[in-house]
Amino acid sequence: MFWRTSSPLDADDEEWQLDCWGWLLKHFGGAAALRKRSLILPTRAFFTPSEERGHAAASHYFRQVAAYFDIDAARFNLVPQEDSIDPVFGPLQVLQNAPREPAGTFSVSLGGAMTITYNPAIVPKPMKLITTFAHEICHPLLLSVSEEPPGGSEMEEFATDLAATFFGFGIFNSNTAASFTQYRDTATGTQGWSFERQGYLSPAERAFALALFIQARGQGVQEAGEYLDSGPLAYFRKATKYLAQTPSISSDLLAAHQ
């Protein structure tokens, strides 16, 4: 008996994402432009490593990310945020609920000057840094569209998350959606694992977007599988199987935006 794979998303989330894909296709080149986009991989073929540290390294990666959007990096002021507060002051002193800086921010002045900030703590983590820059560069692109994304202005950040995958950064987007890291608390003498989430879309939503991007282009499934972490890979495989069993999802979407 043939068993159909259910969607990895609930009905409302899938409907919104497909509507948002349609919105992005409508305003950014349609199906023809989407098919020509590259699946950006975390390899030296796409990003040359930086031999410097700190802001120089961040600027090095920012220029490379901007180039994939065909945007001059010099149009932005790239600014490091202030260092986050270390919540551990000593063996018996821990600051509760210490504020944490976002991975990145985008702002534009009344005069039109655009500024992107980044958390210096993620500079040694190119995957997170590149994902952050891709997300923030998507902001001015989406703001250039007079029509609000599906769901209105309150869904702007979610649409920006999706846009990063739409422009080719789906592997980066999926691998940084959530992470577990080992930690040691010197104040209490305990150790364990901590959870961190970056961005707005869930891991399942990002994997669905990546699978749809690849199906629409007709290539890249094997490449994506090679570079996805184990958690995102499981979501991606389910989304890929679901879309393969329902090819009308991508075909109808592309047909409407030729």
Residue type at 128 in one-letter notation? K
Q: What is the pLDDT of residue 63?
A: 98
Q: What is the pLDDT of residue 219?
A: 85
Q: What is the pLDDT of residue 226?
A: 95
- Residue 170 near residue 210 (C-beta atoms within 8 A): yes
Q: Which two tokens stand for residue 86?
A: 């270390």
The backbone torsions φ and ψ at residue 78, rounded to the nearest 5 degrees and listed phi first, read -100, 120
Nearest Cα residue to 203 out of 230, 223, 227: 230
- Coil, helix or strand at residue 63: helix
Q: What is the pLDDT of residue 96?
A: 41
Nearest Cα residue to 123 out of 56, 68, 211: 56
Residues 71, 91: Cα–Cα separation, whole Å: 48
Q: Which two tokens stand for residue 1?
A: 């008996």
54: left (phi over 0), alpha (psi -120 to 50) or beta: left
Residues 13, 26: Cα–Cα separation, whole Å: 20
| Rg from Cα positions in the chain | 19
Q: Which two tokens stand for residue 158?
A: 């979610």
- Residue 236 near residue 228 (C-beta atoms within 8 A): yes
**Predicted model pTM:** 0.85
pLDDT in tens, the chain (258 residues): 456 778 999 999 999 999 999 999 999 999 999 999 999 999 999 999 999 999 999 999 999 999 999 999 999 999 999 865 443 434 444 334 333 568 899 999 989 999 999 999 999 999 999 999 999 999 999 999 999 999 999 999 999 999 999 999 999 999 998 443 343 545 544 443 333 445 689 999 999 999 999 999 988 899 999 999 999 999 999 999 999 999 999 999 999 998
Q: What is the pLDDT of residue 2?
A: 55
Residues 135, 225: Cα–Cα separation, whole Å: 22
Strand partners, 185: 190
Strand partners, 77: 115
